[in-house]
Amino acid sequence: MSKFAKWKGKALSLAGRATLIKLVITGSFVHSFMIYKWPSSLLRLVNRKLINFLWTGSCEETKLILVAWDRYCKPYSQSGLGLKDLGLLNDSLLKKLTWKFMTSQSLAF
């Protein structure tokens, strides 16, 4: 979070911050999600920080948000922002790794 807190989110529009979350921030967690099962409390904390960054431009500033997180995670066609739910992403990447282990003939990928 300290790495993301240095970004100047206030200089970006809401669409710019949503794109930054979708492409850069979520992408930075992918490698860790493929290997480790993150605790749900930590995922909730990260989601809360992402919501704060989306609406205020800062991870630390809070603002009263009246839209549920699952609405943000819907695709554009369903009036969402197309963001990824980090808990579901963590579970799906771990299941993908498990599937590779189960179906692979060798230990090397």
Instruction: Tally the domains of the chain.
Output: 1
48 belongs to a structural domain: yes
Q: What is the pLDDT of residue 5?
A: 64
DSSP label of 78: G
What is this structure's pTM?
0.77
Domain membership of residue 81 as a residue range: 2-103
- What would the two tokens of residue 75 be? 């695709």
109 belongs to a structural domain: no
108 belongs to a structural domain: no
pLDDT of the chain along its 109 residues, tens only? 666 666 777 788 888 888 888 888 888 899 999 999 999 999 999 988 888 888 888 887 887 877 887 888 888 889 888 888 899 999 999 999 989 888 887 666 5
Q: What is the pLDDT of residue 32?
A: 92
Task: Write the CA distances from 45 to 15, 49, 87, 98, 102, integer angstroms.
Answer: 22, 6, 11, 26, 32
